[in-house]
Amino acid sequence: MAGRTWEDHERAVERLRASYAAIPPGQPVRLAKRTSNLFRPRSDAAGPGLDVSELCGVLEVDPGVGTADVQGMCTYEDLVRATLAHALVPLVVPQLRTITLGGAVTGLGIESTSFRHGLPHESVVEMDVLTGAGEVVTTRPGDELFDAFPNSYGSLGYATRLRIRLAPVPAYAALRHVRFDDAQRLAAAVAEVVATGGLDGTRVDGLDGVAFAPDELYLTLATWTDEPGPTSDYTGQQVYYRSIQERAAGGEGRDRLSVHDYLWRWDTDWFWCSRAFGAQHPLVRRVWPRRWRRSDVYHRLLALDTRFGVAERLDRRAGRALREKVVQDVEVPLARLGEFLAWFDERVGMRPVWLCPLVAQRAWPAYPLEPGEVYVNVGFWGTVHVGPTAPDGPTNRAIEEQVHALGGHKSLYSEAFYDRETFDRLYGGEQLRAVKARHDPDDRLSSLYDKAVRRT
């Protein structure tokens, strides 16, 4: 159940404190959590972990003020269910249902409203954090712990409660898929939407896109509306990202979804990742249960493949070069988007890729985007055949170098290969260490570098 009372919350926090006290000094402190939306392997430490099993609900939605108090391990699926009952949604709802609010804040989340509202942590007005010292600290914007928390990935502690701002939302999202034949024209349209709030006289409430080829790129413009009409359903035989091309080829490229289905339009097929398991093939799709057409199921299948090396064994048997997993989201300045995509096509050649504009509302030490500057998140998820050097991550290393040469940044939810000096320069290492020293004096929590690069 998503709902929790404040008394339930107090008991859950005490249970968390007790689990912290049970971890012997010298042993690493980490979550006792079976699921994750991270895409980097880690060394699993034996022994007890932090019990967050009862910190997964919505405590209160205040429609009058437009806020919600939410436990840290509450998924966006449960959070949205509670807020939509009041015709409200979080300002930014990441695309995968099982991302948790605490995870999106201590990591990074993004979606089509990010061109207007930034990243999920920028709508947080208050949070309680269990620090490495075992204390639960209430922190707000301007506090050093609050400001350093985004992109810290548990190295500064774990959020137990967050208060976030909500936005009103109507029943439907009217979509328009607009095709561009080069990245520069698409970038010009993005700049217009960010500057004016619309395109061609139509208000834009959600903005993202897909690049299928160098000369076939689309922006999807979403406009909130209460006007009734027929809606599409992409939890059945149809695949959402394919509909972008199909509808645009048929004329105006228009579509309509319920707001609920719009928020989870990518999750059913986890963008195009369900293709890896045949779940987009019409015959397979007919027998693939609807309840299994969701991102957490695909994540578990990927984890099994990684654990048992199924794809690697098949490649070896077929005489194919070894695969390198390339699962990344990077932020590139809008003005350099075309340059990055041209390099990506030549060096990596993976398509389609997701495009999501964003504008950071303020500076954040551990992910220093320029406030007010337009970036485009470029997301790509798959594998490339590179041969015996695959374990060394040559493609991922090249992406890191190119992104930062263009003035961008890379999210840390997946594999990273930086040396320590470069990592500290890019992700506020000196400031993070100072904050960590004050709130984790015995160094119980792994550092951000250890988590992101050394995978501890």
Evaluated on CA atoms 339, 343, 345, 350, the torsion sign reads: negative
Helical packing angle, 310-318 and 295-308, nearest 10°: 60
Res 270: pLDDT: 82
pTM: 0.93
Note the maximum CA span of the chain. Answer: 65
Phi, psi of 37, rounded to the nearest 5 degrees = -105, 15
Res 42: pLDDT: 62
Range with lowest mean pLDDT among 120-124, 132-136, 191-195, 278-282: 278-282
Res 39: pLDDT: 66
Question: Are 355 and 210 contacting, i.e. CB atoms less than 8 angstroms apart?
Answer: yes
Q: In this predicted model, what pLDDT tens digit does every residue of 141-191 receive, in sequence order?
A: 999 999 999 999 999 999 999 999 999 999 999 999 999 999 999 999 999
Average pLDDT, the chain: 92
Of residues 231, 93, 235, the one with CA closest to residue 167: 93
Domains and CATH numbers, the chain: 6-169+433-437 (3.30.465.10), 172-265 (no CATH), 309-417 (3.30.70.2520)
Q: In this predicted model, what pLDDT tens digit does every residue of 86-99 receive, in sequence order?
A: 999 999 999 999 99
Of residues 88, 118, 107, the one with CA closest to residue 159: 107
Quote the CA–CA distance of 159 and 21 in Å, as a whole number.
17
Helices and strands of the chain, counted as H and E runs: 16, 16
- Cα angle, residue 128 at apex, residues 440 and 451 outer, rounded to 5°: 45
320: which DSSP letter?
Answer: P
Quote the CA–CA distance of 341 and 58 in Å, as a whole number.
40
User: In DSSP terms, which residues pair with 355 in a beta bridge?
Assistant: 209, 378
Read off the pLDDT of each residue in 31-43 and give the average, rounded to a whole number.
67
Read off the pLDDT of each residue in 275-302 and give the average, rounded to a whole number.
85
Residue 2, pLDDT > 90, answer: no
Instruction: Place 1 in a pLDDT band, splitting at 50, 70 and 90.
Output: very low
Q: Which helix (H) or strand (E) holds 346?
A: helix 337-347
Read off the pLDDT of each residue in 284-313 and give the average, rounded to a whole number.
80
Res 274: pLDDT: 83
Q: What burial class does residue 348 get, using C-beta atoms within 10 Å of its C-beta: 0-12 exposed, 13-18 middle, 19+ buried?
A: buried
Residue 111, pLDDT > 80, answer: yes
- What percentage of the chain has pLDDT greater than the value 70? 95
The b/e string for 364-391 (b: 16+ C-beta within 10 A; e otherwise) is bbbbbbeeeebbbbbbbbbbbebeeebe
Read off the pLDDT of each residue in 395-423 and give the average, rounded to a whole number.
96
Q: In this predicted model, what pLDDT tens digit does every residue of 305-352 receive, in sequence order?
A: 677 676 777 667 777 878 899 999 999 999 999 999 999 999 999 999
- Cα angle, residue 66 at apex, residues 65 and 67 outer, rounded to 5°: 100
Q: What burial class does residue 277 get, using C-beta atoms within 10 Å of its C-beta: 0-12 exposed, 13-18 middle, 19+ buried?
A: middle
Evaluated on CA atoms 308, 311, 317, 323, the torsion sign reads: negative
E strands, 107-227, in order: 124-130, 136-139, 158-168, 172-180, 198-199, 202-203, 206-213, 216-225
Read off the pLDDT of each residue in 261-289 and give the average, rounded to a whole number.
88
Instruction: Place 85 in a pLDDT band, splitting at 50, 70 and 90.
Output: very high
Question: How many residues are present in the chain?
Answer: 456
Residue 40, pLDDT > 60, answer: yes
Phi, psi of 35, rounded to the nearest 5 degrees = -105, 160
Quote the CA–CA distance of 134 and 444 in Å, as a whole number.
9
